[in-house]
């Protein structure tokens, strides 16, 4: 299945690229700090009701390129063909039977990228 995605516009476009600099998970809440490569300003992306997440080097996620890459954006909602589709194709995975209304999101960094399966869309705000 080919990968398709929608761009989610955040408080910054990160025109020079972005990097994932911090990931914090506590009891279903996932907070990710994404930093601009040019001027180091940052955005906090928070998922309040996370089902699962993974952090991988971009070299291991070639199926996401070029759809989920610069200059297209840095935060995407995956609509088909992503990690969630891979997981639900496994016969031992119960996500599709136990979770309703979940969606997959993808955050792009120059080195690391984060895939998130969540019951709620993320909130984004400039890091204070």
Tens-digit pLDDT profile for residues 47-77: 999 999 999 998 888 889 899 988 899 999 9
User: Given the structure tokens 């088909």, which residue do they identify?
Assistant: 80
CA distance 33 to 95: 27
Give, for 75, the enclosing helix (H) or strand (E).
Answer: strand 75-80
Do residues 58 and 126 touch, judged by C-beta distance below 8 A?
Answer: no
Q: Which two tokens stand for residue 36?
A: 């601009």
Do residues 55 and 23 touch, judged by C-beta distance below 8 A?
Answer: yes
Tens-digit pLDDT profile for residues 74-125: 999 999 999 898 888 888 776 776 667 899 999 999 999 999 999 999 999 9
Q: Which two tokens stand for residue 54?
A: 């993974």
């Amino acid at each position: 299945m080919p990968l398709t995605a929608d761009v989610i516009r955040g408080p910054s476009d990160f025109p020079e690229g972005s990097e994932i600099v911090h990931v914090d998970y506590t009891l279903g809440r996932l907070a990710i700090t994404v930093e601009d490569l040019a001027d180091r300003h940052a955005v906090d992306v928070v998922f309040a009701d996370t089902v699962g997440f993974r952090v991988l080097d971009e070299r291991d996620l070639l199926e996401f390129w070029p759809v989920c890459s610069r200059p297209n954006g840095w935060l995407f909602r995956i609509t088909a063909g992503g990690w969630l589709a891979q997981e639900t194709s496994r016969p031992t995975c119960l996500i599709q039977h136990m979770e309703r209304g979940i969606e997959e999101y993808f955050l792009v960094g120059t080195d690391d990228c984060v895939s998130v399966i969540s019951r709620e869309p993320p909130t984004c705000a400039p890091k204070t």
